[in-house]
Amino acid sequence: MKNIKFFYITASDKREAEKIAKKLLNRKLIACANIISNVNSYFVWKNKIQSSKEIIICGKTISKNQKKIINEVKKLHSYSVPCIIFFDIKNGNNDFLKWIKQSVI
């Protein structure tokens, strides 16, 4: 099934992750979101290796909502450069993939 996307967003804490997920759901930009807590993240920021605890928001949407999701997350996010990435879903349970398409605008 074409045009279905899996997204991955990191957040600073559970409250921020829930706020982002609920806003995207309320605007019908995503079909669902999964929040994964207590992730150890390591990264380079301002030329130094950093680490922090983060929360991951994963979910499903459609291609045409990518830019709207990016814009909405940037408004709500505490990071100056939030991680917001998308992957193509090429295969899966067809009934579930149809549900994703029916759940978003």
Read off the pLDDT of each residue in 21-45 and give the average, rounded to a whole number: 97
Mean pLDDT, the chain, rounded, equals 97
Residue 23's pLDDT is 98
Sign of CA dihedral 96, 88, 77, 28: negative
Domains of the chain: 4-103 (3.30.70.120)
- Is the pLDDT at 33 greater than 80, yes or no? yes
Q: What is the pLDDT of residues 47-63, one digit of tens each?
A: 999 999 999 999 999 99
Sign of CA dihedral 27, 94, 58, 47: negative
Residue 86's pLDDT is 98
Helix (H) or strand (E) holding 10: strand 4-11
**b/e per residue 46-69 (b: at least 16 CB within 10 A):** eeeeeeeebbbbebbbbeebbeeb
* Alpha helices (runs of H) in the chain, residue ranges in sequence order: 14-26, 66-76, 94-103
- Is the pLDDT at 1 greater than 70, yes or no? no
* CB 4, CB 89: distance < 8 Å: yes
Which residues partner with 5 through β-bridges? 61, 88
Amino acid at site 57: I
- Is the pLDDT at 74 greater than 90, yes or no? yes
Residue 88's pLDDT is 97
Residue 51's pLDDT is 97
Residue 2's pLDDT is 80
The whole-model pTM stands at: 0.94
